[in-house]
Amino acid sequence: MAPILKPDLCVIGGGSGGLTTAAAAAAFGVKVVLVERGAMGGDCLNYGCVPSKALIAAAKHVAAIREAKRFGISAGEPEIDFAAVKDHVRGVIAAIAPNDSVERFEGLGVTVLKADAVFVGESTISASGQIVEARRFVVAAGSSPLVPDIPGLRETTHFTNETIFDLRQRPEHLVIIGGGPIGMEMAQAHRRLGSRVTVLEAGALLGRDDPELAAVVVETLRGEGVALRERAKVVAVRGGDRGPSVTIETDEGRETIEASHLLVAVGRAPNVAGLGLEAAGIDYDARGIKVGRDLRTSNRRVYAVGDIAGGPQFTHVANYQAGLVLRPILFRLPVRERRDHLPHVTFTDPELGQVGPTEREAKAAGSLRDVVRWPYRENDRAQAERRTGGLVKLVLGEGGRILGGGVAGMAAGEITNMLSLAVGKKMGVADLRDLVSPYPTLAEIGKRAATVYYRPYTEKPSVRRLVGMLARFG
């Protein structure tokens, strides 16, 4: 039997949260063991953010060629080699993979075990027979695609975000169950690449986002020919020689939709099974491992970050949480996770970004005092790019404090960075109003939205009288 490993820190999971934790701890000279049973880089590199954005980028080039006539340029209808597009996706993954590789982390001084990790005690795991006893653990085991309990689905060939990128033949008719970010991103990309696409959503499309902003994306996809069905509950799936058929139930009754391929994109489930959490005294439920504001579990030796910790399932959230847990682990500093400033972006075209509460959420919480907007069509850069659809929306509290913000439109993700800083630093509209933004840029839209807050003051009789009085002094 191999000797017992006794590092200062053991990290379970080689996705974004685990890799960030391991690399940062190793940089301080800490002995770290990293356990990963699958591909290094986790979901983000291999099945999620990276391949999806690479596919979206290819689809954007197709759309740009089709739209070229608006700029006085003619290139004809683009020819799409779907297999070559997938080679591009694989190439992007391969270019990034060395940063997340076993070799790189071993070079940083991390001991990497390619194995399943199972807790066998409060401070001990077995990694395929290798025993690891550590002072502290960080569980970053991620999540997996959720396959809902729909009659016939498990018996029918279908794709998830973990398998759709392996498909090298363009789907004739891709039916997507789920109208959230993943479903909508994949719908637009495949439509632009030549597939017929139908999205089935039991509730509202992009239902977690501000409805006013989500409508910008929804109408764009409809305009591009994506069939979008809201409040369409999938009640049965059946396989066939020509492909799967999906039966939905709507207010009008039941309807069956024939597909060539089926993608399930209804969310993700935390990878809690098989970790032996009970043996370590770690509480968990269907949402993931239960953690406090300090991200510590019911076992004081163990922290959890990323998708498995039951919070927002985004790569940047996992990285943020990894940075937090290092403070108590390395320096004994107290930490408290904040979620009010955590942004998210749906990378459709136009993009959709949000940070902090939406208008509806702030109103429900009783903190809403005002909402201000500014449309893309009033921005000179948007006009030059002929991308005038969309708006920026600021949700304001007492005294003009920026509680939240959202943006739908070209490069919305980049503008969301600015809004995230404003919310995180508890800025007010005056801070955004005073921003000096280079001209012409899209960020000016956020600045102009802030100035709307002051428009009523220009119409107040008292203010006008003051301006007139001061003018008499020369």
Residue 1 pLDDT level (bands cut at 50, 70, 90) = low
Strands 351-355 and 302-304 turn out to be: unpaired
330-370 confidence digits (pLDDT tens)? 999 999 999 999 999 999 999 999 999 999 999 999 999 99
Output the average pLDDT for the chain: 96
For the ranges 8-17, 319-328, 463-472, the lowest mean pLDDT is seen at 463-472
388-419 confidence digits (pLDDT tens)? 999 999 999 999 999 999 999 999 999 999 99
Cβ atoms of 154 and 164 within 8 Å: the answer is no
Count Cβ atoms within 10 A of the Cβ of residue 155 and give its class: 0-12 exposed, 13-18 middle, 19 or more buried.
exposed
* Domains of the chain listed by start with CATH number: 9-40+101-145+269-331 (3.50.50.60), 164-266 (3.50.50.60), 343-456 (3.30.390.30)
pLDDT at 158 (0 to 100): 97
Give the 3-state secondary structure of residue 398.
helix
pLDDT at 456 (0 to 100): 82
Structure tokens at 150: 């729909």
Residue 196's DSSP bridge partners are: 173
113-126 confidence digits (pLDDT tens)? 999 999 999 999 99
Give the 3-state secondary structure of residue 118.
strand
Detail the DSSP E strand segments found in 140-194. 143-145, 173-177
| Residues in contact with 27: Cβ distance below 8 Å, sequence separation at least 6, in sequence order | 108
Cβ atoms of 402 and 427 within 8 Å: the answer is yes
Average pLDDT over residues 4-25: 97
- % of the chain at pLDDT higher than 70: 100
| Residues in contact with 438: Cβ distance below 8 Å, sequence separation at least 6, in sequence order | none
293 pLDDT above the threshold of 80: yes
Residue 466 pLDDT level (bands cut at 50, 70, 90) = confident
Cβ atoms of 213 and 354 within 8 Å: the answer is yes
Letter string b/e over residues 80-111, b meaning 16 or more CB atoms within 10 A of that residue's CB = bebeebbeebeebbeebbeebeeebbeebebb
69 pLDDT above the threshold of 70: yes
Alpha-carbon separation of residue 139 from 159, 303, 325, 347 (angstroms):
28, 6, 11, 28
Residue 388's Cβ-side half-sphere holds a number of Cα atoms within 13 Å equal to 7
Average pLDDT over residues 316-339: 96
Give the 3-state secondary structure of residue 274.
coil
pTM beyond cutoff 0.85: yes
Question: d(Cα 6, Cα 33) in Å, to the nearest integer?
Answer: 9
420 pLDDT above the threshold of 70: yes
223-247 confidence digits (pLDDT tens)? 999 999 999 999 999 998 889 999 9
Question: d(Cα 368, Cα 356) in Å, to the nearest integer?
Answer: 12
Place of tokens 């401070």: 123
Q: How would DSSP label each residue in 277-339?
A: TTTTT--EETTEE---TT-B-SSTTEEE-GGGGTS---HHHHHHHHHHHHHHHHH--------
Which parts of 6-118 fold into alpha helices (H)?
16-27, 42-46, 49-67, 82-96, 102-107
One-letter amino acid for residue 445 of the chain: I
Question: d(Cα 14, Cα 20) in Å, to the nearest integer?
Answer: 9
Question: d(Cα 369, Cα 396) in Å, to the nearest integer?
Answer: 6
Residue 33's DSSP bridge partners are: 10, 111
Could you check whether the bond before residue 98 is cis, i.e. omega within 30 degrees of 0?
no
